[in-house]
Amino acid sequence: MAAKVEIYTWATCPFCIQAKHLLSDKGVEFVEYAIDGDEVARAQMAERAQGRRSVPQIFINDHPVGGCDDLYALEGQGRLDPLLQA
């Protein structure tokens, strides 16, 4: 069973674009929440992301993974694929 992946983004954010590319290259389906300028949505994201307000914020099976750098770090450590399979 594939993991549930969610990502909060802004349309022009280069880190958001990079994170989505990595997930897409891995064939991962994800739900994207475009929160450009929506402070209510950003506050909801921050609540889920343990106070982080930067984008992107990525969640795998409702667990906060962090941002683009965190996603790429998991990939580099070989820990991303097991999370995506869970």
More confident residue, 1 or 39: 39
Q: State the amino acid at position 4 in one-letter form.
A: K
- 29 by DSSP, 3-state: which? coil
Q: What is the pLDDT of residues 4-46, one digit of tens each?
A: 999 999 999 999 999 999 999 999 999 999 999 999 999 999 9
Burial of residue 15 (CB within 10 Å: 0-12, 13-18, 19+) is middle
Q: Where are the domains of the chain?
A: 5-80
Q: What is the pLDDT of residues 47-75, one digit of tens each?
A: 999 999 999 999 999 999 999 999 999 99
Closest CA to 64 of 22, 8, 1: 8
Is the predicted pLDDT of residue 81 greater than 90, yes or no? yes
Is the predicted pLDDT of residue 1 greater than 80, yes or no? no
Is the predicted pLDDT of residue 2 greater than 90, yes or no? no
Cα distances from 34 to residues 11, 24, 28, 82, in angstroms, run 7, 17, 18, 26
Q: Which CATH superfamily is domain 5-80 in?
A: Glutaredoxin (3.40.30.10)
User: Where does the chain show beta strands of DSSP type E?
Assistant: 5-9, 31-34, 57-60, 63-66
